[in-house]
Structure 1
Amino acid sequence: MEFSKRFFVTILFVSYSVFARSIHQNNDQQSTAHFDEKNEDHWRLQAQWTLRTKVFAPLNTKVAKNIILFLGDGMSITTLAATRVYLGHKYKHFGEELKLSFEAFPYTGLAKTYCVDQNVADSACSGTAYLTGVKANSGTVGLSGAVKRGDCESQKDGEHSLTGLVDWAQRAGKRTGVVTTTRVTHATPAASFAHSADRRWESDSDLPNGFQCPDIAKQLVRGKVGSRIDIVFGGGRKNFFPKSEKDAEGHYGYRSDKTDLIREWLIKKINLGVPAKYVYNRKQLMKLNKKENHSVLGLFSPDHMPYHLEAEEDDPTLSEMTVKAIELLDNKNGFFLFVEGGRIDTAHHEAKARKALDETAEFAKAVEAALRMVNPEDTLVVVTSDHSHTMTYSGYSKRGTDILSFTNKLNATDNIPYTTLSYANGPGYRPHDNFIRPSPTLEDLQNINFTYPALVPILRETHGGEDVAVFAKGPWSHLFSGNFEQNFIPHAIAYASCIGPGLTHCSV
């Protein structure tokens, strides 16, 4: 799906321009002046337009037939702000004044992301919170805080296993789907269907010797919730077939138990009378149709899917996977779809800010593509993140400065330029030579793999502990206002869509 300027020239400009012209319809010259930021009326009109949209916006209290939960992994508020400028510079705007597709949603809140045992969350405990409604320990997936990381026995007895949005939607007769740019067995998507005492147990080859816990890939195919998911798109193909075998693209598998879970998944669906298909490239994905393909397993890479900036022609984009999932899931009873832009996080861990911002832009495109396909009156769309990162945005640069370059005010006391974006820790640490900071001007900032400077040396940049933004549009989206615990999110979604064991709109 090709990027268009309509993506970021959002309601802020489209509707605002209509509003401004309606006031000055008889004076074209005066109306034009209101798009000059140096003109005070520009800011008054903009604020008045925003006020009117909020004052006159009706509350939607209908039942949410469809639910789409978008998760930008590691998408901090700093990442959002930087991505606006990244897109603005790319398309000859300033950028700070723009909005990503979901930033135009009518309701916004802040979610607190800490784990039960840790003040900075990982994707496993946070995924458990926003998908099941219960906070958990770091490194654990789909299990309560009573289970410590690595406790295989507690995982096996099932006493502390948690169900969540995917299970609740399935019980309500809705179709379900999971889409991600990471391995489908990675911590975030795994939290939607699996119960694992360690997020790293994606394949049986990852289990310590003697451990008999079912791995995450096996739970997707054999699990009570995983086996009933209708659409699964993402990477991680290697975790589904043996080490001794190659896939159609010549990559070896990673399983030690000699099990071909892809074949098992197909046979299981066929035995249930479900039209099912396995696909592994973009061409096959685009050929899928609702009439013939009721259930689809799409594994498009042996590992994580490639970054958008490095993808090849046969790698589907997040937008394409999202659009196809909605096409296939749409039905009279509704659906629940979970979509993760997972490579925002991996790029930040590598301190590769350019890739992180580009992945965020791709994520926003997927949200926009989904909005064009659904009815906002009966579809609740929630966009959020699981945790932040340590990337900072600083320096007093002039408007229009490339966000991925240097600040254009050299006010460092050592008179050495510095980048607008940097990290508190990570692989981008440069050792000082005789107490002199190395100059980044000697490096190629235009390289997509440029590693941005960090204050503290560490092989892999860490997450941050601050709150993350939550954006909502559709039925009962006003529930997502204010500051709340991350585990509140699925409870509010369940209320709006009348699913799950708790209080719902239908039970009031």
Structure 2
Amino acid sequence: MTRASLFLAAALVAVSAAPALAAPKPAAPVTNAAPGDAYYQAGQAALAKALTVNPRTGKAKNVILFLGDGMGVSTVVASRIYEGQQRGVDGESNALSFEKLPWTALSKTYSHDTQVTDSAAGITAITTGVKTRNKVIGLSGAAKPESCASEAGTRVETIAELAKAHGLSAGAVTTTRITHATPAGVYAHTAYRDWEGDGDMPTDAVAAGCKDIARQLVEAPAGLRLDVALGGGRSRFLPDAKDGKRADGRDLTAEWLKAPNAAYVTTDAELAALDPAKTGPVLGLFASEHLPYEVERPVLGQGVPTLAAMATKAVDLLSKNPKGYFLLVEGGKIDMGSHLNNAKRTLTETVEFSKAVQAVLDKVNLDDTLVIVTADHSHGLVISGYAARNAPILGLAGNEGEPVVAGDGKPYTVLSFATGPGGPEGGGSRADPSKEDTDDIDYHQNAVANLPSSAHSGEDVGVFADGPGSYLVHGVVEESYLYQIMRHAYGFDEAAAK
């Protein structure tokens, strides 16, 4: 036996003679309290629901674009909390109607020439797929604001015009003037968003042949003209003799009625009475200027339909076309509340917008209707501080439940604005919100910098969708990409559109 073999044999004997090692004790079970936690269970339920969502890959017969003007992410969050608190439920975990849609994205809203877009350039990007300059509607970035001559050769087709060209119907609903920037982005092409009526235009632009926005709505060729247009702005359609602002003396409402079976309505009762089966194109103008804020409805809103009532009636009117339709629904006064640094108005308008979305979702079939909810831009609304859970969203900020004051010795509100009329004037100090009713409908939140009107902000905005093609709403996208989703959902390829 070799020396190596002797060593191996000795080692084996030593191992076999050694006492057996004790088996390791099983580890103590890990105690996990998470499965019984309400947040954990809510997450499980959300996952289970998400796993059931399948992309709808068919073609869309109808497309409904909801646009909350100025409805940034902070506005959505604050409104979600406000809506829940108004109903007496937990606002922080609440959800607005459109937040429950399964497909979401963020939209980059910069315009062709600015970091922060206005509504004219924003809606043009969404409805045409082309980013343009601020103040310009329905024209490419080659057009120059307020230059009538630059309108030549810069016109870009809107998704509504494309739908009409394919035999579908089209409509626009808004709480602003129907000639205001966002609704105008469905049908108008102009170098200046404020050319809503000829009385708003310089004489040289009129002489050069540029048309005001109201004329473009009424004078559009029959094959392209909107089938439904509901909102405010009656003054841009009527002459001075009829309490309007038209300088040419024309009554465009009378001209609208020349179309077969056309209707012109001015009250909620008249709108409700319309029989879709017997009615042709409908023009509804429910105020001389913008419609009243929802908080003003008890005083100023008699005879004025809600956004939900206008939107659902528009769906009824447009649905009679067997080929389908395109519809824009704008919550336009969300933006206007924020321009005032008036969060109460901003939030109540957003809640009404959410109600309109839900009312339409309850009517349509998402197997053939694409619904997209988004904003054209954000606003300078900020949610800051560490207010206690369930503290009033329109109230004062706190430090995890404790009162808190800023360096100037004054408290501050949960909601504030970067700029606007709530800022200190003339080097003075800011107002003390603890001495004011922050829930009042006319309360203006503090702002950092004083401006006559709060400025828009440039962060991305949310996009929420369901229906055919909605699975294409994901990631971080260009605002102009939304047009491509709608076009693709309809099945309108580029060759067919030429």
Using structure 2 for the length normalisation, give the TM-score.
0.88
Q: Structure 2 matches for 1:112-123, cutoff 5 A?
A: 112-123=108-119
How far apart are the structure 1 equivalents of 2:307 and 2:291?
Answer: 10
Q: Which residue of 2 aligns with 1:445?
A: 438
1:94 is displaced (CA, Å) by 2.3
Q: Deviations over 1:131-169 (max 9, x none)?
A: 1110000100000000110110121x3x11011110111
> Does structure 1 residue 220 correspond to structure 2 residue 208?
no
2:164 touches 2:224 (CA, 8 Å); kept in 1? no
1:105 is displaced (CA, Å) by 0.5
Letter in 1 for 2:279: N
> Does structure 1 residue 141 correspond to structure 2 residue 137?
yes
> Does structure 1 residue 229 correspond to structure 2 residue 223?
no
Q: Which residue of 2 aligns with 1:188?
A: 182
Q: Which residue of 2 aligns with 1:197?
A: 191
SS of structure 2 residue aligned to 1:346: helix
Q: Which residue of 2 aligns with 1:290?
A: 276
Q: Give the unaligned 5+ runs of structure 1.
A: 1-36, 247-251
Q: Which residue of 1 aligns with 2:307?
A: 318
SS of structure 1 residue aligned to 2:494: coil
How far apart are the structure 2 equivalents of 1:406 and 1:259?
Answer: 52
Q: 1:453 to 1:444 in 2, by over 3 A?
A: same
Runs of 4+ displaced beyond 4 Å: 37-40
Q: Deviations over 1:401-433 (max 9, x none)?
A: 110111133152333111000000100113488
Q: 1:493 aligns with which of 473, 486, 497?
A: 486
Aligned length: 454
How far apart are the structure 2 equivalents of 1:354 and 1:464?
Answer: 19
Q: Which residue of 1 aligns with 2:91?
A: 95
| Cα-Cα RMSD | 1.8
How far apart are the structure 2 equivalents of 1:38 and 1:401?
Answer: 27
Q: Structure 2 matches for 1:467-506, cutoff 5 A?
A: 467-499=460-492, 501=494
How far apart are the structure 2 equivalents of 1:136 and 1:393?
Answer: 31
SS of structure 2 residue aligned to 1:144: coil
Q: 2:63 aligns with which of 59, 63, 67?
A: 67
1:194 touches 1:223 (CA, 8 Å); kept in 2? no
SS of structure 1 residue aligned to 2:442: coil
How far apart are the structure 2 equivalents of 1:148 and 1:225?
Answer: 29
1:51 is displaced (CA, Å) by 1.5
1:294 is displaced (CA, Å) by 2.4
> Does structure 1 residue 359 correspond to structure 2 residue 349?
yes
Q: Deviations over 1:288-343 (max 9, x none)?
A: 11122122100000000100111223110000000110111113211111100000
Q: Deviations over 1:197-247 (max 9, x none)?
A: 00010010111122221110000011248962101100000000111x22x
1:425 touches 1:461 (CA, 8 Å); kept in 2? yes
Q: Which residue of 2 aligns with 1:10?
A: none
Q: 1:405 aligns with which of 387, 395, 407?
A: 395
How far apart are the structure 2 equivalents of 1:294 and 1:184?
Answer: 18
2:35 touches 2:41 (CA, 8 Å); kept in 1? no
Q: Deviations over 1:454-495 (max 9, x none)?
A: 110100100000111000101110101011110010111110
> Does structure 1 residue 240 correspond to structure 2 residue 233?
no
Q: Which residue of 2 aligns with 1:261?
A: 252
SS of structure 2 residue aligned to 1:355: helix
1:122 touches 1:138 (CA, 8 Å); kept in 2? yes
SS of structure 2 residue aligned to 1:180: strand
Tell which deviates more after alignment, 177-186 or 439-448.
Answer: 439-448
How far apart are the structure 2 equivalents of 1:54 and 1:101?
Answer: 17
Q: 2:369 aligns with which of 368, 379, 382?
A: 379
Q: 1:429 to 1:503 in 2, by over 3 A?
A: farther
Q: 1:500 to 1:238 in 2, by over 3 A?
A: farther
How far apart are the structure 2 equivalents of 1:205 and 1:432?
Answer: 35
How far apart are the structure 2 equivalents of 1:481 and 1:503?
Answer: 27
How far apart are the structure 1 equivalents of 2:253 and 2:223?
Answer: 13
1:91 is displaced (CA, Å) by 1.3
Q: Structure 2 matches for 1:388-403, cutoff 5 A?
A: 388-403=378-393
1:500 is displaced (CA, Å) by 5.6
> Does structure 1 residue 46 correspond to structure 2 residue 42?
yes
Q: Give the unaligned 5+ runs of structure 2.
A: 1-32
Tell which deviates more after alignment, 222-231 or 461-470.
Answer: 222-231
> Does structure 1 residue 177 correspond to structure 2 residue 177?
no
Q: Which residue of 1 aligns with 2:327?
A: 337
Letter in 2 for 1:239: R
Which one has the largest radius of gyration? 2
How far apart are the structure 2 equivalents of 1:285 and 1:437?
Answer: 46
Using structure 1 for the length normalisation, give the TM-score.
0.86
Q: 2:453 aligns with which of 430, 436, 460?
A: 460
Q: Deviations over 1:97-127 (max 9, x none)?
A: 0110010101000111111111100000011
1:399 is displaced (CA, Å) by 0.9
How far apart are the structure 2 equivalents of 1:224 and 1:161?
Answer: 16
How far apart are the structure 2 equivalents of 1:281 and 1:381?
Answer: 27
1:38 is displaced (CA, Å) by 10
Q: Which residue of 1 aligns with 2:263?
A: 277
SS of structure 1 residue aligned to 2:45: helix
SS of structure 2 residue aligned to 1:228: coil
**How high is the sequence identity, in percent, across the aligned residues?**
42
How far apart are the structure 2 equivalents of 1:419 and 1:39?
Answer: 37
Letter in 1 for 2:422: G
Q: 1:388 to 1:352 in 2, by over 3 A?
A: same
Q: Which residue of 2 aligns with 1:20?
A: none
